[in-house]
Chain A
Amino acid sequence: MTTSWKPSAEITTLKRRAQYLADVRLFFAERDVWEVETPILSQAAPTAPYLDSFTTDYRPIGTQAKQTYYLQTSPEFSMKRLLAADSGSIYQIARVFRNGEQGRLHSPEFTMLEWYRPELTLPQLMDEVNVLLRQVFNIEPVIRLSYRSVFEFFLKINVFNCTDEVIKHCALERISSLPIDLELDRDGWLELLMSYIIEPRLAAMAMPLFIYDFPASQAQLAKLKKDSSGNQVADRFELYIDGVELANGYNELLDADELRQRFEADNQLRKQQNKAEIPLDENLLAAMKNGLPECSGVALGLDRLIMLALNQTKLSEVNSFSFECA
């Protein structure tokens, strides 16, 4: 008899998940951060070269015409349009979709907790993440290290001064499973070192960690700034717990022209890789032209956090129905 109709998580786990969701909502209500809902379907999408949106067709009744819509990979663009319309602090618990990403810690459909705080600086937002982790998920305070010091500590390389060749050599030397003829750009090698060497070490040390001041080339939608040594860095952070990447926070880029350039550079890269170019979100760009307030924002993978808080090891153990049995 087939058992594939059954949930992939225990009912008791799902009830605890429901309690976490209620507690998260309470946490934000107490801070006057209000809950918003934004469209899952959009005519535009993020351009990031390694982020693949699901697409679907909209067909008005009675016509053969169809229009491509993208399923959101995060509610970021819509939420920023609300911020530009003076929403103030907002949060969302949203279902988001990323094509192709399936594994123990990945699901093509997952739940994102995303919030924006116009009155907080990025360090203050890290403080707030810390309080959320402690109050709701009973996870201990998180220490903070810069991207540069993490690589210095674990790998003895200075990621801002060393050549691409040094980083590549370091990766090939330390990661035995890499084919010798692997071709990657600088960020690709850095990401491999993070995933294969640094994350397992962080997991072994049971040390929740905020990593901040990323290389400028990994700025995504964060502002650039100079770090204390004068290096150009992206003003963003990532949160790692038990070696699992959990959250991504930005001092949000406000400059519409700069964002348009980043989108176009992404599309250029997509073209080189024979990937479809993505229509730019002109509504977002217009909202930013109108004026986005100074703000900090963070997106947190809620399924992963609940998985860790409940001592589970697979996303499917905290989702009612995993992607394979959806």
Chain B
Amino acid sequence: MASVSTNQFKGGLKFMLDGDPCSILENELVKPGKGQAFNRVKFRNLKTGRVNERTFKSGDSVESADVMEVELEYSYTDGEFWYFMDPETFEQHAADANAIEDCKKWLKEQYVYTVTQWNGSPLLVTAPNFVNLVVTDTDPGLKGDTAGTGGKPATLETGAVVRVPLFMNIGELLRIDTRSGEYVERAKD
């Protein structure tokens, strides 16, 4: 496996630490006047999602992590794994419950997701910033209310529950911001 020196450290670099793939968030040089230099690194453990800190002697090397981000289309789940397909090669990739935990409620067939792969297998699935989803359950719509004050809960086709304006009805297609989990607007199609 290739190694990377601390002098190549920068935000976004993927490396192995104690057996887990990690991604650098911040890298700060610690260098007293004429003393030895250190790299103080804040990183995210891509397996656990936890943010942590580690100090390296400048000039030391770490193993680089074979981590790639690919765009894959969600196909289906058998309850144990969630299957994503490469739209060009039709190759299937199985993600486990851990990998899809954060985006489970935004998973819709044929949508394209960013899949972070480590040694070729999905480590983390990230939803696109916006998805269009159909309302499957909500209280009846109130005509006349267009101000959108307060709103009401609506269940979407993926099982996610979001607050929507009072005038929304079952069957309508909504644009949702997956980062905040908020309704944005009625989707065109």
Query: Considering the chains assembled together, what is the distance between the CA atoms of A105 and B55 in angstroms?
Result: 17
Query: Considering the chains assembled together, what is the distance between the CA atoms of A238 and B36 in angstroms?
Result: 16
Tell me the smallest distance from the CB of A98 to a CB of chain B, in Å: 9
Q: Is B150 an interface residue (CB 8 A)?
A: no
Least CB separation from B42: chain A residue: A177
Least CB separation from A190: chain B residue: B35
A-B contact pairs, 10 of them (CB 8 A): A50-B35, A101-B29, A103-B31, A106-B31, A179-B56, A182-B55, A188-B35, A191-B35, A191-B36, A238-B33
Query: Considering the chains assembled together, what is the distance between the CA atoms of A196 and B38 in angstroms?
Result: 11
Q: Is the interface of B mostly helix, strand, loop or mixed?
A: strand
Tell me the smallest distance from the CB of B9 to a CB of chain A, in Å: 11
Chain A interface residues toward B at CB < 8 A = 48, 50-51, 100-106, 175-179, 182, 184, 187-188, 191-192, 194-196, 218, 220, 238, 245, 248
**Given A51-B34, A196-B40, 4 more pairs with CB closer than 8 A:** A102-B29, A177-B53, A188-B35, A192-B38
Query: Considering the chains assembled together, what is the distance between the CA atoms of A51 and B37 in angstroms?
Result: 10
Tell me the smallest distance from the CB of A304 to a CB of chain B, in Å: 11
Which residues of chain A have C-beta atoms less than 8 A from B54's C-beta?
A: 177, 179
Within the complex, which residue of A50, A103, A175, A187 is in contact with B55, where a contact is CB–CB below 8 Å?
A175
* CB-CB contacts below 8 Å: B1-58 with A: 7, 28-38, 40-41, 52-58
Say yes or no: A179 contacts B35, CB within 8 Å: no
Which residues of chain B have C-beta atoms less than 8 A from A184's C-beta?
A: 36, 57
Which residues of chain B have C-beta atoms less than 8 A from A218's C-beta?
A: 35
Total A-B pairs, Cβ < 8 A: 61
Say yes or no: B55 contacts A177, CB within 8 Å: yes
* CB-CB contacts below 8 Å: B48-86 with A: 52-58
- Counting chain B residues whose Cβ lies within 8 A of the other chain, the interface size class is 20 to 34
Say yes or no: A103 contacts B28, CB within 8 Å: yes
Tell me the smallest distance from the CB of A192 to a CB of chain B, in Å: 7
Which residues of chain B have C-beta atoms less than 8 A from A196's C-beta?
A: 30, 40, 55
Which residues of chain B have C-beta atoms less than 8 A from A238's C-beta?
A: 33
Tell me the smallest distance from the CB of B41 to a CB of chain A, in Å: 8
Query: Considering the chains assembled together, what is the distance between the CA atoms of A50 and B29 in angstroms?
Result: 14
Query: Considering the chains assembled together, what is the distance between the CA atoms of A238 and B31 in angstroms?
Result: 14
Say yes or no: A179 contacts B37, CB within 8 Å: no
Least CB separation from B33: chain A residue: A248
Q: Using A106-B29, A175-B55, A179-B55 as known contacts, say yes or no to A220 and B36 having CB atoms under 8 A apart.
A: no
Say yes or no: A103 contacts B35, CB within 8 Å: no
Say yes or no: A178 contacts B37, CB within 8 Å: no
Say yes or no: B37 contacts A101, CB within 8 Å: yes
Query: Considering the chains assembled together, what is the distance between the CA atoms of A228 and B56 in angstroms?
Result: 37
Query: Considering the chains assembled together, what is the distance between the CA atoms of A104 and B30 in angstroms?
Result: 10
Say yes or no: B7 contacts A100, CB within 8 Å: yes
Query: Considering the chains assembled together, what is the distance between the CA atoms of A245 and B37 in angstroms?
Result: 14
Which residues of chain B have C-beta atoms less than 8 A from A220's C-beta?
A: 34
Say yes or no: A100 contacts B55, CB within 8 Å: no
Within the complex, which residue of A100, A104, A194, A245 is in contact with B28, where a contact is CB–CB below 8 Å?
A104
Query: Considering the chains assembled together, what is the distance between the CA atoms of A194 and B30 in angstroms?
Result: 11
